[in-house]
Structure 1
């Protein structure tokens, strides 16, 4: 398979994943569909890992990979050239860092649980459970405000974890693909070359 075609396919997969991360992070900011003050939201939501890490930091390499695949795989003899080192290697590495950031923050958000009002106090009431609250759904109703915040956070942070894992894999594939492209050039021979 043409290395540039692989880059294009990876880019086309990364773009929707990054948009999913941005959307999930935006929804985390409005639990139960309402706005809350920043001191009533979890730190893991405010770190914007889905927007910045899994979103923008992955969207840029995704677009770059698609453009690289389109630009380099069209035209006579274009695939004889090797990838350019800075954009082709650093771009997926940058995206991988963003996806790892998203994964780490989202996993911590799942483990610690949301910040919510319980017994008149805003706090991380599930912090000491080390994630055990995830399997005990009867505890989820103990949060008085925001309503259904535990389900909201668990669902959206789980989406971010899954998307970030896929992004890490895809950025890793593109990093290997780009490294091979830099070292060996593309797999297609120059059109019209002598046999």
Structure 2
């Protein structure tokens, strides 16, 4: 099954990307490699876009795609194609979970880019210099 080989390759490729997204989100809590106060970290970091969206919600499709080639049972209810149909249905359902995770990560990133970073101003206060407020 050619699509099974492609799905397995996709699942294996997603695993390192998931790990990189989680690490990138964790590194946002340590700007400059040092721990800082909670008030010096922008609000969007606390939305956990890389951990939840690109990490937890993407691990499910990656694992399903990785094992999709092996998910070819001999059939149920006397129908040989039942196993293949279930494998395709499960891959579509988990792909939609991954789509939701990618959308969440995208929205959090877009909000963070729109809001801008939190910086120490000339008066010593921590503010968003590029924000509207």
Distance of 1:105 and 1:118 partners within structure 2: 25
Shift of 1:8: 0.6
Q: Which runs of 5+ in 1 are unaligned?
A: 129-195
Normalising by structure 2, report the TM-score: 0.82
Cα deviation for residue 5 of structure 1 reads 1.1
Taking structure 1 as the reference length, the TM-score comes to 0.58
How much has 1:56 moved relative to structure 2?
A: 1.3
d(CA) in 2 for partners of 1:13, 1:107: 25
Structure 1 range deviating more: 83-92 or 28-37: 83-92
Name the counterpart of 1:72.
71
Separation in 2, partners of 1:38, 1:47: 13
After superposition, give the CA deviation of every residue in 1:28-87 in whole Å (9 maximum; x if it has no partner): 111001112222111111111001101111122101210122x136x9x79953231653
Separation of aligned partners in 1, 2:2 and 2:104: 31
Indicate yes or no: 2:103 matched with 1:100.
Answer: yes
Aligned to 2:40: 40
- Structure whose residues are more often helix by fraction: 1
The alignment of Structure 1 onto Structure 2 pairs a total of residues equal to 125
**Distance across 2 between alignment mates of 1:100 and 1:28:** 20
Which of 78, 88, 92 is the matching residue for 1:89? 92
Residue in 2 that maps onto 1:122? 126
* Alpha-carbon distance in structure 1 between the residues aligned to 2:127 and 2:85: 51
1:193 maps to what in 2?
none
Q: Could you say what the CA RMSD is over the residues aligned between the two structures, in angstroms?
A: 2.3
- Cα distance in 2, alignment partners of residues 87 and 123 from structure 1: 46
Distance of 2:127 and 2:60 partners within structure 1: 36
Return structure 1 stretches of 4+ with deviation > 4 angstroms: 77-80
